[in-house]
Amino acid sequence: MISGLELCEFIERGGVLTDVEGTTPQEIYRNVIDAIKLPEGIDRELVYTELCEREKVLSTAVGNGIAIPHPRRPLMKNAEDQRIVVCFLKNPINMHAPDSLSVQTMFVLLSGSSQVHINVLASLAKLFRKTEFKKLLETKPSVDKLVSVIKQTELN
Protein backbone atom coordinates (compact mmCIF):
# COMPACT_ATOMS: atom_id res chain seq x y z
CA MET A 1 0.00 0.00 0.00
CA ILE A 2 1.04 3.59 -0.43
CA SER A 3 0.88 6.09 2.40
CA GLY A 4 -1.95 8.54 2.93
CA LEU A 5 0.50 11.31 2.12
CA GLU A 6 1.36 9.75 -1.24
CA LEU A 7 -2.34 9.26 -1.99
CA CYS A 8 -2.90 12.94 -1.18
CA GLU A 9 -0.10 13.92 -3.56
CA PHE A 10 -1.73 11.91 -6.36
CA ILE A 11 -5.07 13.64 -5.73
CA GLU A 12 -3.48 17.10 -5.50
CA ARG A 13 -1.81 16.52 -8.89
CA GLY A 14 -5.02 15.26 -10.47
CA GLY A 15 -7.50 17.58 -8.81
CA VAL A 16 -11.24 17.39 -8.35
CA LEU A 17 -13.87 17.86 -11.04
CA THR A 18 -17.45 18.55 -9.94
CA ASP A 19 -20.67 18.01 -11.88
CA VAL A 20 -19.02 16.07 -14.69
CA GLU A 21 -21.65 15.47 -17.35
CA GLY A 22 -22.33 12.29 -19.29
CA THR A 23 -24.70 9.36 -19.42
CA THR A 24 -22.14 6.67 -20.26
CA PRO A 25 -18.61 5.98 -19.02
CA GLN A 26 -17.30 6.99 -22.46
CA GLU A 27 -19.01 10.39 -22.32
CA ILE A 28 -17.74 10.94 -18.78
CA TYR A 29 -14.17 9.96 -19.79
CA ARG A 30 -14.27 12.33 -22.76
CA ASN A 31 -15.34 15.22 -20.53
CA VAL A 32 -12.75 14.35 -17.89
CA ILE A 33 -9.88 14.03 -20.38
CA ASP A 34 -10.85 17.33 -22.02
CA ALA A 35 -10.91 19.10 -18.63
CA ILE A 36 -7.78 17.84 -16.88
CA LYS A 37 -4.18 18.89 -17.07
CA LEU A 38 -1.91 16.11 -18.31
CA PRO A 39 1.88 15.98 -18.18
CA GLU A 40 3.75 17.12 -21.26
CA GLY A 41 4.13 14.32 -23.78
CA ILE A 42 1.03 12.40 -22.65
CA ASP A 43 -1.47 12.02 -25.49
CA ARG A 44 -5.05 12.86 -24.43
CA GLU A 45 -6.57 10.60 -27.07
CA LEU A 46 -4.44 7.68 -25.91
CA VAL A 47 -5.56 8.18 -22.30
CA TYR A 48 -9.20 8.42 -23.41
CA THR A 49 -8.93 5.30 -25.58
CA GLU A 50 -7.19 3.34 -22.82
CA LEU A 51 -9.88 4.25 -20.28
CA CYS A 52 -12.63 3.18 -22.70
CA GLU A 53 -10.83 -0.06 -23.60
CA ARG A 54 -10.38 -0.95 -19.93
CA GLU A 55 -14.07 -0.36 -19.26
CA LYS A 56 -14.98 -2.77 -22.09
CA VAL A 57 -13.03 -5.57 -20.38
CA LEU A 58 -14.71 -5.23 -16.98
CA SER A 59 -16.53 -2.47 -15.17
CA THR A 60 -14.32 -0.33 -12.96
CA ALA A 61 -17.24 0.26 -10.57
CA VAL A 62 -16.30 -1.07 -7.13
CA GLY A 63 -19.54 -0.43 -5.22
CA ASN A 64 -20.89 2.24 -2.88
CA GLY A 65 -21.36 4.58 -5.86
CA ILE A 66 -17.62 4.59 -6.62
CA ALA A 67 -15.61 3.61 -9.70
CA ILE A 68 -11.85 3.59 -10.26
CA PRO A 69 -11.35 4.01 -14.01
CA HIS A 70 -7.80 3.36 -15.15
CA PRO A 71 -5.91 2.37 -18.28
CA ARG A 72 -4.93 -1.29 -18.63
CA ARG A 73 -1.29 -0.27 -18.78
CA PRO A 74 0.74 2.44 -17.07
CA LEU A 75 0.85 5.63 -19.17
CA MET A 76 2.68 8.09 -16.93
CA LYS A 77 6.37 8.29 -17.78
CA ASN A 78 7.62 9.77 -14.49
CA ALA A 79 6.69 9.07 -10.88
CA GLU A 80 5.84 12.74 -10.33
CA ASP A 81 3.33 12.60 -13.22
CA GLN A 82 1.15 9.98 -11.53
CA ARG A 83 -2.22 11.26 -10.45
CA ILE A 84 -5.78 10.56 -9.38
CA VAL A 85 -8.52 12.78 -10.79
CA VAL A 86 -11.52 12.70 -8.45
CA CYS A 87 -14.72 13.22 -10.45
CA PHE A 88 -18.11 13.92 -8.95
CA LEU A 89 -20.73 13.21 -11.60
CA LYS A 90 -23.61 15.57 -12.27
CA ASN A 91 -25.92 12.56 -12.56
CA PRO A 92 -25.12 9.04 -11.32
CA ILE A 93 -24.69 6.41 -14.04
CA ASN A 94 -25.13 2.66 -14.15
CA MET A 95 -21.75 0.96 -14.52
CA HIS A 96 -22.89 -2.51 -13.44
CA ALA A 97 -21.36 -2.26 -9.98
CA PRO A 98 -21.22 -5.40 -7.85
CA ASP A 99 -23.77 -3.86 -5.45
CA SER A 100 -25.91 -2.52 -8.34
CA LEU A 101 -25.60 1.08 -7.08
CA SER A 102 -25.13 3.80 -9.68
CA VAL A 103 -21.73 5.47 -9.78
CA GLN A 104 -21.58 9.06 -8.59
CA THR A 105 -17.85 9.37 -7.82
CA MET A 106 -14.87 8.30 -9.93
CA PHE A 107 -11.23 8.14 -8.96
CA VAL A 108 -9.47 8.15 -12.35
CA LEU A 109 -6.07 6.59 -11.70
CA LEU A 110 -3.16 7.36 -14.02
CA SER A 111 -0.07 5.54 -12.79
CA GLY A 112 3.46 4.88 -14.00
CA SER A 113 3.88 1.25 -13.00
CA SER A 114 1.82 -1.85 -12.27
CA GLN A 115 3.17 -1.98 -8.71
CA VAL A 116 2.15 1.61 -7.94
CA HIS A 117 -1.23 0.92 -9.55
CA ILE A 118 -1.88 -2.09 -7.31
CA ASN A 119 -0.71 -0.23 -4.20
CA VAL A 120 -2.97 2.74 -4.94
CA LEU A 121 -5.95 0.43 -5.47
CA ALA A 122 -5.28 -1.23 -2.11
CA SER A 123 -5.04 2.15 -0.34
CA LEU A 124 -8.22 3.41 -1.98
CA ALA A 125 -10.07 0.19 -1.08
CA LYS A 126 -9.09 0.69 2.56
CA LEU A 127 -10.38 4.28 2.46
CA PHE A 128 -13.64 3.26 0.77
CA ARG A 129 -14.44 0.89 3.64
CA LYS A 130 -14.58 3.84 6.05
CA THR A 131 -18.13 5.11 6.55
CA GLU A 132 -17.00 8.67 7.29
CA PHE A 133 -15.05 8.80 4.01
CA LYS A 134 -18.01 7.53 1.97
CA LYS A 135 -20.20 10.18 3.63
CA LEU A 136 -17.62 12.84 2.79
CA LEU A 137 -17.78 11.87 -0.89
CA GLU A 138 -21.52 12.54 -0.89
CA THR A 139 -20.74 16.22 -0.13
CA LYS A 140 -18.55 16.54 -3.27
CA PRO A 141 -15.65 18.02 -1.30
CA SER A 142 -12.94 20.27 -2.71
CA VAL A 143 -9.47 18.88 -3.26
CA ASP A 144 -8.31 20.64 -0.06
CA LYS A 145 -11.08 19.10 2.05
CA LEU A 146 -10.54 15.66 0.52
CA VAL A 147 -6.80 15.78 1.16
CA SER A 148 -7.32 17.07 4.70
CA VAL A 149 -9.64 14.19 5.59
CA ILE A 150 -7.34 11.59 4.01
CA LYS A 151 -4.41 12.95 6.03
CA GLN A 152 -6.51 12.66 9.20
CA THR A 153 -7.56 9.10 8.36
CA GLU A 154 -5.21 6.32 9.30
CA LEU A 155 -4.43 4.33 6.18
CA ASN A 156 -1.78 2.11 7.73
CB 88 within 8 A of CB 79: no
pLDDT tens, position by position, 14-31: 999 999 999 999 999 999
Q: Give the pairing type, strands 16-20 and 83-93.
A: parallel
156 pLDDT band (50/70/90 cuts)?
very low
Q: What three-state secondary structure class fits 103?
A: strand
Torsion of CA 131, 103, 14, 10, to 10 degrees: 40
The Cα–Cα gap between 124 and 66 comes to 11
CB 130 within 8 A of CB 110: no
Looking at residue 142, its pLDDT comes to: 96
Positions of E strands within 21-132: 61-63, 66-67, 83-93, 103-110
Looking at residue 67, its pLDDT comes to: 98
Distances, alpha carbon 68 to alpha carbons 29, 30, 64, 110, 133, in Å: 12, 15, 12, 10, 16
Looking at residue 153, its pLDDT comes to: 79
Looking at residue 124, its pLDDT comes to: 94
Q: Where are the alpha helices (DSSP H) in 15-89?
A: 25-35, 44-57
51 pLDDT band (50/70/90 cuts)?
very high
